[in-house]
Copies of this chain bind each other. A is one copy, B any other.
Amino acid sequence: MRVRAEELGCSLRPHLKTCKTVEAGVIATGGTRRRVTVSTIAEAKFFADAGFDDILYAVPLTADKVDDVEKLHAGLAQFHVMIDHAEQAAALIARLSRPEVREQMLARPLSVFVGVDCGYHRDGCDPNDPSSVALVHMLAESGVTTLAGIYTHGGHSYDAANAAEIVRIAEQERDVTVGFATKLRSIGLNVPRAGVGSTPTCSLAPSHLDGIDEMHPGNFLYYDMTQVALGTCAGAATGYGGFPEHPELRISNLKQECGEVSTADGAPLEYARYPIGSLLAIAPHHSCAATHQHQHVYVVAEPTDRTIIDTWRICKGW
């Protein structure tokens, strides 16, 4: 993915919510431990404690997290938050302007990405609404905040029917983001960075990303059966995860620690092939959620050699 980002003329800011481990974060940043995305304050602290820097907390910021944000801002060379609504911006600016911190924030303002909705409609401001320009203005001009750039996530790519639709959403991510950056720059605002990304749209990327500075997929670190089903990586799609070494099987139901297994083609199960006590490797349906179920990642020597050669600690909590 780093090579693809370079070829497309932008930087990779991997989203570490998928792996939640220092070791995978080191690999994803090419060893630099710089320029990453996280989705919880717990992850921001976890990676900051491990020497990561230039961390973007890419969830619309609420007031209850500002204390933690101030500490992360103070302790890192670059820490960025994301804002997509004027109320959040006003609350943040008010907090950073209180007498006891105002001087210090003016000397070193908090870096803020403005979230832009490119069609997902879960978060991000509407780039066609004049109030969104006013929001960027407010953050760029407050003195206690500074504009890091604009950020979008084409999460609707996960609902795409086919590969062509994913590419169309990738183009939409790019066009909406570049269009909004252009509009902001045309009125004199400094927009240092424009970022796009979801694993589907970065895997089935458009022919060019001109005007885009960084992309921030996360799921690609593991890929999973959701991505297989979307056609963004190779494999045979099934529900509820799959068995890479046994494509003839599928998981047909899951209940906490127990799963029900049937054949992919509906034929009777040949029990003799899977005697009681067999251990079958499972490729998760959604790797972010699967990671979150565990305390550690066990790293094996080879897919077929399950000797554990390393154990990575998974960040827990929110």
A interface residues with partner B (beta carbon < 8 Å): 17, 39-40, 59, 62-64, 85, 87-88, 91, 122-123, 155, 255-258, 260, 275-277, 279, 288-289, 292-293, 295, 316-318
Contacts and interface: CB of A to CB of B under 8 A. Distances in A.
A108 to B, nearest CB: 25
A154 to B, nearest CB: 13
B59 A276 contact: no
27 contacts: A17-B256, A17-B257, A39-B256, A39-B257, A40-B257, A59-B258, A62-B276, A62-B277, A63-B277, A64-B277, A85-B276, A87-B276, A87-B277, A88-B276, A88-B277, A91-B276, A122-B255, A122-B258, A122-B260, A123-B258, A155-B255, A256-B288, A256-B289, A256-B292, A292-B293, A293-B293, A295-B316
A262 B295 CA distance: 33
A123 B260 CA distance: 10
Nearest to A278: B62
Contact of A59 (B63, B85, B257, B316): B257
B91 A277 contact: yes
- The A contact surface, by secondary structure, is loop
A64 to B, nearest CB: 7
A228 B152 CA distance: 38
Contacts of A276: 62, 85, 87-88, 91
B295 A317 contact: yes
Nearest to A257: B39
A39 B260 CA distance: 16
A295 B260 CA distance: 27
Contacts of A260: 122
Contacts of A91: 276-277
A182 B267 CA distance: 36
Nearest to A85: B276
Given A59-B257, A91-B277, A295-B317, 6 more contacts: A39-B256, A63-B277, A64-B279, A87-B275, A87-B276, A123-B258
Contacts of A256: 17, 39, 288-289, 292
Nearest to A253: B122
Nearest to A158: B255
Nearest to A17: B256
A14 to B, nearest CB: 16
Contacts of A275: 87
Nearest to A84: B276
A136 B276 CA distance: 18
A298 to B, nearest CB: 12
A132 B316 CA distance: 44
Contacts of A257: 17, 39-40, 59, 318
Nearest to A293: B292
A305 to B, nearest CB: 18
Contacts of A317: 295
A255 B62 CA distance: 18
A316 B293 CA distance: 9
A59 to B, nearest CB: 7
